[in-house]
Every structure is written in C-alpha cells, then in structure tokens.
Amino acid sequence: MPVPRGSRFADLPVFEVTGPDGRPRHVIGLRLTGTDTPGDRVHRVRQGEALDLLARRHLGDERSWWRILDVNPLRYPLDLAPGEQLRLPAPGQATRASRARSFR
C-alpha cells in the first residue's frame, strides 16, 4: 500500500527484513533526528500553544506537527512549556534526517 504524501512516512525507504518467524517483512526506515537546513528557525513557546497549532501557523498544516518533533530533541509532544525554545523546520516537504539520535 502506498504511503500518503502528507504522511510522516512519505518518501522514507522501505526495507525487507526477516521476522522472528523467519518470514520476510517490509518495514519503513524511520526518521530519527532532524538535520539543520536553511530556513529552520527558533520559536519561543507561549502559554496555550500546542504542536498542531504551531504546525498550522508555521508549516501550513496541523497534521505536520511530527516535523517539529523530528528537528528537536526527543520529547513527549504534550510537554511543551511556556518559554521553551523549539526549532521549526522550513515550510515545505518533509526533510531527511540522520540516523543518530541524542537523548537528553
């Protein structure tokens, strides 16, 4: 089944792996961290802001909230705090990311 264009999994590679039962399975190679790209900017979170609101305002689509998470350190999406700084990716298609992930 093709992945929809607006999906966070669009344009990611599909790998064939061997499952525990020995049968082949297809899995999507996940994006684990973002990379700095021209157009990225920093946003200071204000009271009441949520990821979907920020995605609609800065990326043009509230369903793109995952793109904001992809360019920031690993976090629970509902834990935004006023005054916190988030990197925002440039509007447009989802960006590619490296396989290295930093956990703070």
How far apart (Å, rounded) are the C-alpha atoms in residues 58 and 61? Answer: 8
On the question of pLDDT at 69 being above 80, the answer is yes
On the question of pLDDT at 101 being above 50, the answer is no
Name the nearest CA neighbour of 67 among 102, 39, 31. 31
The gap from C-alpha 101 to its chain's centroid, in whole angstroms, comes to 13
For residue range 80-90, list pLDDT tens digits in order: 889 999 999 88
Partners of 86 in beta bridges: 43
Question: CATH for 36-88?
Answer: 3.10.350
Which of 82 and 12 is assigned the larger pLDDT? 82
**pLDDT classification of 66: cutoffs 50, 70, 90:** confident
Residue 96: how many CA atoms within 13 Å on its side-chain side?
4
Domain boundaries, the chain: 1-30, 36-88
